Amino acid sequence: MWAGFLSPEQATYGLISGQTLFLTIHILGLGCFAYIVTRRLVPLLRAERDIRFDRPLLRLKKVLQFWFGQWKHPRYGGAGILHILIFAGFLVLAVRAFKVLLLGASENFAIAAPSGNLSHIYEIITDYAATIVFLCMAVAAIRRIVFKPTRYAVPAKYGQGHPVDAIFLLGLIALLMVADSLYEASRAASLVQQGKIFELPAVFSLPWFLKNALATASFSTLWNSYRGAYLLHQLTFYFLLCYRPFGIQFHVETSLFNVFFAKLDRGTVKPVKWGVADEQIDQVKSLGVKKFEDFTWKHMLDFYSCADCGRCSDKCPANAAGRPLSPRFLTIKARDYSFQHYPVFGHSNGNGALIRGIYSEDEIWSCTTCGTCEEECPLLVEYIDKIVDLRRGLIDIGNVPQTLQKPLKALETRGNPYGKLEKKRADWTKAKEFQESCAVKILNRSDSADTLYFVDSITSYDDRMQAIGRATAKILKRAGVSFGILGAAEKDSGHEVRRFGEETLFRALRDENMEAIKASGVRRIVTADPHAFNALKHDYRDLPPVEHISQVMAREVKAGKLEFNPVENRTYVYTYHDPCYLGRHNQIYDDPRRVLDAIPGLKRVEMKRSRDRSFCCGGGGLMLFYEPKEEQRMGVLRVKMAAEAGANVIVTACPYCMVNIEDAIKVAGLEGKMSAIDLTELVEKQLAASTRKTAEIGQSPEKEGVLALVG
């Protein structure tokens, strides 16, 4: 009997030998798991193509950082640390789990397994790992049952939550730890009773406590608990393995692949169809996502990999504003659809429509593509490409929101969403005082420059935003940059058009702009509009280098070419609002702050949600023409955040942010108490006399009005 105590393979369970029983469990467990996973792969095999095998080294780096290194978890303090501990515990326990599992099949494995001091050290570490995982399960269960973090809640409109399922899974993992520890503790207690006190469980670990509890147990009790614990470990392990693909715990298996195949290029939008050249797009019969199988296989893998942690929705500004959009549920609904239509048992019956099936149109149009959800997700689940693809599907069947039809038509005919004449595109340069101090070249065959200032539609045509154009031009001139604009030859960058799913129109705008830019012969491009910046940088190809004006200013400040007068009104407290397409999508956080901090006497505070957690102002691009259903405006929430931080001047670096924030200040009733200004306007106002040698400042009347607010 003692030999059996040493190896489960040698034990007997009733009339069945341990080896037969455990080999059977292994074969059945692995067979079931293989079958379930194969069935789960069926929709992925029917999905659209996706190219995700490029740049393998970069992908491995992502795995090391985001999967192995759990990089994003600390963003959510307590829960993040809990997850890191559980994950680390699982990694440490993986080798022991396989060793213990295989012992039942063959005693030879135990003989072949490493022994000696190294093995003993590993056993000590695993004792503590099992203890930590067990305690983490208890803490996680208490959090879910007692504290119930709001981000786990499921609003009635999204169906029902699965708290019992979550607790059940936590219980199963805890049971696995107990079974593993009891198996070791029974053996250790028996050894102690026989005077063999080497290789005992680590002090104060779970196996150590259990060993002490069993210290006076009879030999037969120990023998039974040893065999029972081993059997329980095997059964729990395989039950967990086969149960996980039915719910959120499937991410344990899929997350590594999801991170490896994650999107590598920020700011980009996926092609309409992978592998289909631009010129062949017209021949594609159906554009975008209309049915579940139109998603790419990677996007389906996202659905399986979501851990339902709720971080994406917790930080989503659309969700915060009460729009009918919660990214978490975009995923959960698609996963439920997949499980229902591609069941593990029974026939697959996909091909159902998604819009008005599981998604509403409002849900799809409510997203500002701000990227917060993707920034937060610890498993690198993607949202923007899916939403853009769903919009492409809606546009393909002519389903365009009414308020967007006019601006889209105007973009088609006039190259701007306002329907204004092309020849008026450069009118912002014609304000008398401005022209006297800063003549702006229109680039053509006879007039060239080193740098193109790409203005884009909102700054060209919106009376208020034209002040940003003039400030930018003056700064460029002050920095000694030889620059010009395209004037009537410039078209809308198409950035928002593309993200609204109108790919054909985007391509037309892009091609016209590319032709004009190439004809201008410039060697670099500067813009003050983060949306244009993102489009030129990521949606266009083969252009000269592109910079946002904040990058130019930061460099010139560092070089000593731009110097500032001290701020006049010391009661102003400034805060910088990171525009989504400058910050999150392009990682430009420091340059605007460096410029602000170079202004003597400027007092700057940070809002709680800043840098990569910046809160979208709510109206990127065509959102200015779309009236979403919402309980409150995102801009109003943002302005309140600035007030909470103690600021009374919001500085931004994007004309769209300016529209929304200025509007939000009025809606929030903060006029006179709070103001907004673009970074270019502030810089131009503060430029010191020594750097004004090349031109004297002249301000347009509307700009003077704005600057009066910030003193």
Note the residues at the interface with ligand SF4 (CB under 6 A): 306-312, 316-318, 325, 327-328, 331, 367-373, 376-377, 379, 381, 383-384
DSSP conformation class of 618: S
CB of residue 300 vs ligand SF4: minimum separation in angstroms? 14
CB of residue 634 vs ligand SF4: minimum separation in angstroms? 9
CB of residue 312 vs ligand SF4: minimum separation in angstroms? 3
Distance CA 130, CA 124 (A): 10
Cβ proximity to ligand SF4, 382 vs 591, nearer residue: 382
CB of residue 214 vs ligand SF4: minimum separation in angstroms? 40
Q: Residues 691, 694, 698, 704: is their CA dihedral positive or negative?
A: negative
Phi, psi angle pair for 576, to nearest 5°: -100, 125
Q: 401 and 626 in contact (C-beta within 8 Å)? A: yes
Cβ proximity to ligand SF4, 188 vs 641, nearer residue: 641
Q: 224 and 231 in contact (C-beta within 8 Å)? A: no
Cβ proximity to ligand SF4, 394 vs 440, nearer residue: 394
Distance CA 394, CA 433 (A): 47
Q: Which residue type, as a one-letter code, is found at position 649?
A: V
Q: How many CB atoms lie within 10 A of CB 668?
A: 20
Residue 170: alpha-carbon gap to chain centroid = 26
Q: Where is 441: in which H helix or E strand?
A: strand 441-442
Cβ proximity to ligand SF4, 187 vs 392, nearer residue: 392
Q: Which residues contact 402 (CB under 8 A, 6 or more apart)?
A: none
Cβ proximity to ligand SF4, 26 vs 75, nearer residue: 75
Residue 286: C-alpha distances to residues 294, 299, 509 (Å) = 9, 18, 22
CB of residue 405 vs ligand SF4: minimum separation in angstroms? 22
CB of residue 623 vs ligand SF4: minimum separation in angstroms? 10
Residue 179: alpha-carbon gap to chain centroid = 38
Cβ proximity to ligand SF4, 327 vs 583, nearer residue: 327
DSSP conformation class of 353: B
CB of residue 368 vs ligand SF4: minimum separation in angstroms? 5
Cβ proximity to ligand SF4, 80 vs 350, nearer residue: 80
CA torsion 339→344→348→349, rounded to 10°? Answer: -30
Cβ proximity to ligand SF4, 323 vs 537, nearer residue: 323
Cβ proximity to ligand SF4, 384 vs 410, nearer residue: 384
Tell me the Cα Rg of the chain.
31
β-pairing, 12-13 vs 16-17, is antiparallel
- Tokens 């304000």 label which residue? 431
β-pairing, 524-527 vs 451-453, is parallel
Phi, psi angle pair for 119, to nearest 5°: -60, -40
CB of residue 507 vs ligand SF4: minimum separation in angstroms? 23
Phi, psi angle pair for 426, to nearest 5°: -100, 10
Categorise residue 672: left if φ over 0, alpha if ψ from -120 to 50, beta otherwise.
Answer: left
CB of residue 23 vs ligand SF4: minimum separation in angstroms? 37
Cβ proximity to ligand SF4, 311 vs 548, nearer residue: 311
CB of residue 328 vs ligand SF4: minimum separation in angstroms? 4
